[in-house]
């Protein structure tokens, strides 16, 4: 009610202001004695009096963490990154993979941060991967355009968005696993008035055992490559074969053996495509759990690890501690619910549960989910008691979807915030 009165008052004011203005070359229109505006833009140009402006003034946010603050002063839940650990993770990956001569094209679906993408390029990465077109839009706008979009782009709306982006950033690369998908993109490029030479860089997406996307190896892959090659606006340059089902296989030898089998499918398909006359210069694959195995295989040209920057408990349990858990969710104890159980302010909206439950960084506490906003921490008799107001750090169980729940990272060194990064592509799932 109050709101509609304000709007009413606002409308009357605008109309009265306008009526006092000379309107040259325009006939004044009136209804019930009020002069009506000819163009809505005329209203926008009217200066508002001070008391009206105050309704729209943005008030200064009372909470604005800044560089130099201690993490102890951050509100919770907050996503915090230990810079020393993250930088060591990057250095470890680069020192292991750069000497192989392969391109490292990190998957940016993990961090969704342009700042971190730039940092990875500075450390030796060749551009990056994104899962979704909407992530690519964000990264391109922020200066990262050497990108491979690793999910298929299907449907008129998305294809139109792709072409719009590709016109400005022709370096972006796509994957296709069907003739329909390839033809949809080709035809839309043709219809957009592109010249005969305009071709989008395309990789054939191969199923190397994940059974998520990807054409089957053998005759289906050869037939699809032939179909792509016949399309004037797609340039087939390589093959993607992501073995996502192997990333979390426990045991180094088991993971390596299964990975090498998948790589055999990938590289033999690349060879078969070459024999059929296709120029296959990109063979891209691998994640944090397998990149080193992939890189040891002749014929692989590029790896796509993403989670290694921050890790999570699921990855640590599978592959060990080559990379450290450098990201935690800082939380506060809200309530004591029994002799050895408290409630913290991090539930489903702060920590995901699809890959098991998060862990408290400090040993001896068991986390439980108490709903969207709450979680529990329980401890054995004799354990250190947690009290209302205490703060704890929670280690996520699955890093990518956990990051997608937060707006910003607070990156600290020994507790002092050094950088604040936005999760630029947060929520970009299209």
- Which residues are at the interface with ligand PLP (CB under 6 A)? 107, 109-110, 129, 150, 242, 244, 247, 287-288, 304-307
Q: How far is the CB of 209 from ligand PLP (least distance, A)?
A: 13
The sign of the dihedral angle between the CA atoms of 379, 382, 383, 389 is: positive
**Closest residue to ligand PLP, based on beta-carbon distance:** 287
Decide whether 76 or 150 has the Cβ nearer to ligand PLP: 150
Q: How far is the CB of 339 from ligand PLP (least distance, A)?
A: 40
Q: How far is the CB of 174 from ligand PLP (least distance, A)?
A: 13
Decide whether 109 or 278 has the Cβ nearer to ligand PLP: 109
Phi, psi of 93 (to 5 degrees): -60, -45
Q: How far is the CB of 98 from ligand PLP (least distance, A)?
A: 17
Decide whether 186 or 285 has the Cβ nearer to ligand PLP: 285
Tokens matching residue 269: 């398909």
Decide whether 159 or 246 has the Cβ nearer to ligand PLP: 246
Q: List the one residue out of 401, 247, 428 whose CA is nearest residue 327.
A: 401
Q: How far is the CB of 118 from ligand PLP (least distance, A)?
A: 19
Tokens matching residue 386: 């947690």
Decide whether 205 or 345 has the Cβ nearer to ligand PLP: 205
Q: How far is the CB of 247 from ligand PLP (least distance, A)?
A: 5
273 half-sphere exposure, CB direction, 13 A CA radius = 33
Decide whether 207 or 345 has the Cβ nearer to ligand PLP: 207
Contact 269, 225 (CB under 8 A): no
Q: List the one residue out of 379, 348, 374, 350 whose CA is nearest residue 362.
A: 379
Q: How far is the CB of 290 from ligand PLP (least distance, A)?
A: 8
Q: How far is the CB of 275 from ligand PLP (least distance, A)?
A: 26
Q: List the one residue out of 400, 430, 315 whose CA is nearest residue 106.
A: 400
Tokens matching residue 340: 């050895």
Decide whether 403 or 417 has the Cβ nearer to ligand PLP: 403
Decide whether 110 or 397 has the Cβ nearer to ligand PLP: 110
């Amino acid at each position: 009610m109050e709101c509609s009165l304000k709007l009413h008052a606002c409308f009357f004011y605008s109309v009265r202001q306008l009526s006092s203005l000379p309107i040259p070359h325009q006939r004044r229109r009136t209804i019930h004695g009020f002069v009506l505006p000819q163009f809505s833009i005329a209203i926008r140009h009217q200066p508002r009096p001070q008391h009206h402006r105050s309704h729209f003034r943005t008030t200064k946010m009372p909470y604005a963490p800044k560089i130099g603050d201690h993490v102890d002063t951050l509100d919770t839940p907050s996503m915090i990154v230990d810079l020393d650990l993250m930088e060591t993770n990057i250095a470890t990956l680069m020192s292991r993979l750069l000497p192989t001569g392969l391109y490292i094209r990190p998957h940016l679906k993990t961090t969704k941060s342009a700042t971190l993408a730039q940092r990875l390029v500075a450390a030796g990465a060749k551009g990056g991967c994104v899962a979704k077109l909407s992530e690519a839009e964000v990264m391109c706008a922020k200066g990262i355009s050497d990108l491979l979009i690793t999910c298929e782009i299907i449907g008129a709306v998305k294809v139109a968005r792709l072409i719009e982006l590709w016109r400005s950033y022709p370096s972006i690369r796509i994957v296709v696993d069907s003739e329909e998908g390839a033809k949809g993109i080709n035809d839309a490029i043709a219809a957009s008035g592109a010249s005969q030479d305009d071709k989008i860089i395309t990789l054939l997406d191969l199923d190397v055992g994940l059974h998520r996307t990807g054409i089957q190896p053998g005759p289906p892959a050869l037939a699809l490559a032939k179909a792509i090659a016949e399309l004037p606006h797609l340039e087939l340059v390589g093959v993607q074969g992501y073995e996502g089902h192997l990333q979390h296989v426990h045991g180094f030898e088991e993971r390596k053996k299964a990975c090498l089998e998948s790589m055999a499918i990938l590289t033999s398909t690349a060879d078969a495509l070459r024999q059929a006359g296709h120029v296959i210069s990109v063979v891209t694959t691998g994640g944090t759990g397998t990149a080193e195995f992939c890189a040891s295989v002749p014929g692989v040209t590029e790896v796509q690890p993403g989670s290694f920057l921050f890790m999570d408990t699921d990855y640590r349990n599978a592959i060990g501690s080559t990379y450290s858990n450098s990201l935690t969710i800082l939380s506060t104890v809200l309530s004591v619910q029994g002799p050895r159980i408290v409630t913290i302010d991090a539930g489903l909206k702060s920590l995901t549960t699809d890959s098991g439950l998060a862990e408290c960084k400090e040993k001896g506490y068991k986390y439980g989910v108490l709903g969207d906003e709450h979680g529990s921490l329980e401890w054995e008799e004799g354990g250190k008691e947690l009290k209302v107001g205490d703060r704890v750090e929670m280690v996520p169980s699955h890093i990518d979807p956990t990051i997608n729940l937060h707006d910003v990272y607070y990156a600290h060194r020994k507790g002092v915030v050094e950088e604040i990064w936005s999760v630029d592509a947060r929520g970009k799932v299209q």
